[in-house]
């Protein structure tokens, strides 16, 4: 059921929601949280589609805040709220309200959203694009238990990670971090199978991919070893190599779907590591509403502390070059010792005719 409301108020929207639930035969509220999406007219369709799919796993009231401040002085002076209420149909597990805030009202989204929040239920705010520099200080962010951003949607993803670290508050998270959950799980499982000292690591991925940076930060923070971040054609993350005393643990995903895991002393095997949709990422974030301490430590580590490009390869090459002269010297000494031993045996052979053969 769709209900269009023009020049409306929050009270009228609440009344429309109650009437729609009764009309569809579901007067009880069976939703577990409120998901607020802050976006614009051009991006709200994709964001709402992803949130609706995630709501099948987490029934929720979805509030889509579309700000339309206007371009002309006359449009900016307006203060009008238009809404579209959707109950049932594709949102059969929840409710959806599209809120279009015109003119001056675009700057007061929190006052519009507050009366529409589910009582005694967590609130999650998601900025698909153009997130505030400090989400926790945003008026909508202050209403939320969890705040979701996406550094991949920024013009400068690495700079966005620095900003996230500087403004982090418990409850903040980023979809760039959510994208590497399968990678972190796979690498942790590989290290559990092979107990060896890790000396360094290399993470490969597309240029300007914040997920690559975050995975490198997580490894550097957790392992305490130099981690280098290198570029690749993609798509997304393509490979992680952990250099250990027993050999190289390599997780390689060249096509974005199937990865190959190589562990020293074990046969290589293929593992599913496909790139996930936005709906799957949002569904994962809605499973946990407590602060993500691992994400906090990763962004706080600092991108500037990662090893410069080529540093790990140069270190490995340098150690190999240092081992080569030592091996050559050892071989030369062995040859000289053998040669010297041969010369000492020759006088004994010359003295053999004067002595009697042993019985």
- pLDDT tens by residue, 49-68: 999 999 888 889 999 999 98
Q: What are phi and psi of 12, to 5 degrees?
A: -65, -35
Neighbour count for residue 41 (Cβ, 10 Å): 10
Instruction: Please tell me what DSSP assigns to residue 117.
Output: S
d(CA 141, CA 268): 46
**Would you say residue 72 has pLDDT above 90?**
no
Distances (CA, A) of 266 to 29, 248, 250, 262, 354: 53, 12, 12, 7, 62
* More confident: 148 or 328: 148
Most confident range, picked from 58-72, 86-100, 300-314: 58-72
d(CA 242, CA 193): 14
Tokens representing residue 221 in the block? 């923070």
Q: Which of 64-68, 98-102, 308-312, 332-336 comes out lowest in average pLDDT?
A: 332-336
Per-residue confidence (pLDDT) for residue 214, from 0 to 100? 94
* More confident: 236 or 338: 236
Per-residue confidence (pLDDT) for residue 312, from 0 to 100? 58
> How many percent of the chain have pLDDT more than 90?
51
d(CA 160, CA 154): 7
Instruction: Please tell me what DSSP assigns to residue 275.
Output: P
d(CA 359, CA 291): 88
Most confident range, picked from 33-37, 54-58, 336-340: 33-37
How confident is the model over 164-194, as pLDDT tens digits?
999 999 999 999 999 999 999 999 988 887 7
Q: pLDDT band at residue 148, thresholds of 50, 70 and 90? A: very high
Per-residue confidence (pLDDT) for residue 348, from 0 to 100? 43
DSSP track, 119-161: TTS-EEEE-SSS--SSGGGSTTGGG-SEEEE-GGGSSSHHHHH
Query: Mean pLDDT score of the chain, rounded to an integer?
Result: 83
Pure H helices in 255-310: 278-287, 293-301
314 contacts: CB under 8 Å, gap ≥ 6: none
Q: pLDDT band at residue 317, thresholds of 50, 70 and 90? A: low
**Would you say residue 338 has pLDDT above 80?**
no
Asked whether 202 and 281 are in contact (CB, 8 A), the reply is no
d(CA 61, CA 14): 12
* More confident: 349 or 294: 294
Q: What are phi and psi of 105, to 5 degrees?
A: -65, -20
Q: What's the angle, vertex CA 141, arms to CA 138 and CA 145, rounded to 5?
A: 155
Per-residue confidence (pLDDT) for residue 169, from 0 to 100? 95
Q: Which of 165-179, 266-280, 305-319 comes out lowest in average pLDDT?
A: 305-319
Look up tokens 């508050």; give the residue. 169
Which residue, among 148, 85, 80, 145, has the nearest Cα to 116 in the 3D structure? 85
d(CA 320, CA 312): 12
Distance of CA 208 to the CA centre of its chain: 13
**Would you say residue 219 has pLDDT above 90?**
yes
d(CA 62, CA 279): 14
């Amino acid at each position: 059921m769709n209900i269009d409301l023009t020049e409306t108020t929050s009270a009228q929207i609440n009344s429309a929601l109650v009437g729609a639930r009764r009309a569809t035969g579901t007067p009880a509220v069976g939703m577990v949280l409120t998901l607020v999406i802050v976006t614009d007219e051009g991006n709200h369709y994709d964001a709402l589609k992803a949130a609706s799919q995630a709501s099948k796993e987490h029934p929720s009231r979805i509030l889509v805040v579309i700000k339309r401040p206007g371009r002309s002085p006359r449009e900016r002076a307006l203060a009008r709220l238009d809404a579209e209420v959707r109950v049932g149909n594709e949102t059969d597990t929840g409710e959806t309200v599209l809120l279009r805030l015109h003119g001056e009202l675009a700057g007061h989204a929190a006052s519009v959203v507050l009366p529409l929040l589910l009582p005694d239920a967590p609130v999650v705010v998601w900025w698909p694009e153009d997130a505030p520099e400090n989400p926790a200080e945003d008026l909508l962010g202050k209403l939320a238990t969890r705040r979701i951003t996406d550094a991949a949607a920024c013009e400068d993803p690495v700079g966005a990670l620095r900003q996230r670290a500087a403004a982090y508050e418990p409850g903040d998270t980023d979809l760039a971090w959510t994208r590497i959950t399968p990678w972190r799980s796979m690498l942790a499982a590989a290290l559990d199978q092979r107990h060896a000292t890790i000396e360094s690591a290399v993470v490969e991925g597309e240029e300007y991919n914040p997920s690559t940076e975050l995975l490198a930060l997580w490894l550097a923070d957790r392992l305490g070893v130099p981690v280098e971040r290198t570029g690749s054609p993609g798509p997304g993350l393509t490979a992680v190599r952990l250099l250990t005393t027993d050999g190289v643990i390599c997780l390689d995903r060249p096509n974005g779907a199937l990865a190959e895991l190589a562990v020293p002393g074990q046969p290589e095997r293929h593992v599913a590591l496909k790139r996930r949709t936005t709906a799957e990422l949002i569904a994962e974030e809605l499973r946990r509403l407590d602060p993500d301490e691992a994400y906090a430590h990763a962004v706080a580590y600092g991108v500037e502390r990662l090893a410069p490009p080529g540093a790990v390869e140069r270190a490995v090459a340098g150690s190999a070059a240092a081992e080569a002269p030592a091996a050559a010297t050892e071989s030369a000494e062995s040859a000289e010792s053998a040669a010297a031993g041969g010369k000492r045996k020759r006088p004994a052979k010359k003295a053999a005719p004067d002595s009697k053969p042993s019985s």
